[in-house]
Chains A and B, each alone.
Chain A
Amino acid sequence: MSEQGQRIEVATDQDVVRVRQLVRTLAVAVKLSLVDQTKLVTAASELARNTLVYGGGGSVEVAPVDNGRRKGIRIVFSDQGPGIADLDLAFTDGYTSGGGLGLGLSGARRLVDEFDIVTAVGEGTTITVTKWCR
């Protein structure tokens, strides 16, 4: 993570709104296209809500990244919650354990370019997503 990264503790609904606004600001700064901004902010909203609702709160770190050829935004969502026991099931469209539409994880994965998840039962979940400028 570069030093320009910013971190938000997610403990309430309001924090989810703050995550959306921060991601939007940084996405505009690295000149993501309007559609890509919208996709990334939507994904961030889904995942930050997961962190809050399923992870019992946690943190979100947003940072601009540059791989030499392209710029982008990387977001890391981490919580110390119960973790996810069955990843395949969690990624199934329509599956939900919390009364949502069951599109959070699988939908968010479709909205970003890179999606990485590390989870263990009882130890929490860390999800890293990246969206690159076209």
Chain B
Amino acid sequence: MERVPVLKIGDILLVSIQIDMEDQVALQLQEDLADRIVATGCHGVIIDISALDIVDSFVGRTLATIAAISKVLDAETVVVGMRPAVAITLVELGLSLPGIRTALNVELGMELLARVRVDHFDDDDEEDAGATGTPAASDS
């Protein structure tokens, strides 16, 4: 079975999904990430999905679970690089990825993580200070 590599860059774990994942591979990634967060003590996870030509409900659910697990382990997750066609399809599918932060590309994702950490230490600030920092679309 193929495995999605997890790279550590500074305080961030970077995952770039380059393959059409089988469900098992996605679940494996979920486990690997949890392990690496604890092992490295990183506080940010960036998952680059710019190479994915579809995101179905299974992958969507896996991303949401990863975000939730990371949160428990005191790390923020940002999903970056979603393609327009994928976003349009997800809206039609009814999948809103609640609780997942998103950014257009890795660079903006890193900025977002930095900002979230600042908010973290600065509790007087309103919750969603950064525009791109709003949790991905809530169902309306």
| 8 Å CB contact of B57 from A13, A38, A107, A110 | A107
- Interface residues in A86-134 by Cβ distance below 8 A to B read 93, 100-101, 103-104, 106-108, 110-111
The main secondary structure of chain B at its interface with chain A is helix
A45 with B56: CB separation less than 8 A = yes
Q: Specify which chain A residues have a CB less than 8 angstroms from the CB of B57 in the assembled complex.
A: 46, 100-101, 103-104, 107
Tell me, yes or no, whether A17 is within 8 Å of chain B by CB: yes
Chain A contact residues (Cβ within 8 angstroms of B): what range?
20 to 34
A50 to B62, CA, bound (A): 17
Q: Specify which chain B residues have a CB less than 8 angstroms from the CB of A110 in the assembled complex.
A: 92-94
The main secondary structure of chain A at its interface with chain B is helix
Tell me, yes or no, whether B22 is within 8 Å of chain A by CB: yes
A39 with B53: CB separation less than 8 A = no
- Interface residues in B82-108 by Cβ distance below 8 A to A read 83-86, 88-89, 92-95
Give per-residue flags for B4-45: 1 if the beta carbon is below 8 A from chain A beta carbons, else 0: 000000000000000011111000000000000000000000
Tell me, yes or no, whether A25 is within 8 Å of chain B by CB: no
B95 with A103: CB separation less than 8 A = yes
A108 to B94, CA, bound (A): 10
Known contacts A101-B61, A103-B94; decide if A42 and B89 are in contact (CB<8 Å). Answer: yes
B89 with A111: CB separation less than 8 A = yes
Q: Name B residues whose Cβ lies closer than 8 Å to a Cβ of A.
A: 20-24, 53-58, 60-61, 83-86, 88-89, 92-95
A-B contact pairs, 16 of them (CB 8 A): A17-B22, A20-B20, A38-B83, A38-B86, A39-B88, A41-B54, A42-B56, A42-B89, A42-B93, A46-B56, A100-B61, A101-B95, A103-B94, A103-B95, A107-B57, A111-B92
Q: Name A residues whose Cβ lies closer than 8 Å to a Cβ of B.
A: 13-14, 16-17, 20-21, 24, 34-35, 37-39, 41-42, 45-46, 49, 93, 100-101, 103-104, 106-108, 110-111
